[in-house]
Amino acid sequence: MLAHKAEIEANKIIHGCLKKKFNINYINLPNLVFTYPEISTVGLSEEELNYLNISNFKNSHYFLNNSKSLIYSDGKGFLKILYCSSNKRILGACIFNSIASELIYSITTIIYYKGTLSDLLNIISPHPTISEIFKEFILYK
């Protein structure tokens, strides 16, 4: 389930032995559950944001509205994004879909670079693809 976590920690050890700086950002570590549909999360959860007293919003968008999901007859699941209410910076996400493990990389990258909802909207996705769910999330929230 977390082979990627073990790999990044091994890289940290190797870099440490070579006396090179290597940091791991565990908040930016995707978590995957390989069920059907898959579940992927990254960033902070609602509970963590509330505990840290960070004013946040959450919105969800369902894959049933996504063109490619309809083509594959796989409209199961949703995308939930948590973001800061003041600056719209994306703080966390949850994806529940048959290819959630493939989609989480996009939102992980946005969180890593401290991206906002506008940044997410400015990324061009080919059409029709399931990755358009991120654009749809912004446009139809």
Predicted confidence (pLDDT) per residue in 80-128, tens digit: 999 998 999 999 999 999 999 999 999 999 999 999 999 998 888 888 8
pLDDT band at 74 (very low <50, low <70, confident <90, very high): confident
pLDDT value at position 1? 58
Q: In this structure, which CATH number among 3.65.10.10, 3.40.50.300, 3.30.390.30, 1.20.1600.10 belongs to the domain 27-139?
A: 3.30.390.30
Span 124-140, pLDDT tens digits: 888 889 999 999 998 88
Span 22-48, pLDDT tens digits: 788 889 999 999 999 999 999 999 999
- Is residue 42 within 8 Å of residue 107, measured between CB atoms? yes
In whole angstroms, what is the distance from residue 124 CA to residue 110 CA?
13
In whole angstroms, what is the distance from residue 111 CA to residue 83 CA?
10
pLDDT value at position 24? 80
pTM of the model: 0.85
Can you say whether the dihedral through the CA atoms of 39, 1, 91, 117 is positive or negative?
negative
- Distant-in-sequence, close-in-space partners of 47: CB < 8 Å, separation ≥ 6: none
- Active-site positions read 127
Q: How many CB atoms lie within 10 A of CB 29?
A: 15
In 28-70 the beta strands, taken as DSSP E runs, fall at 31-33, 38-43, 56-62
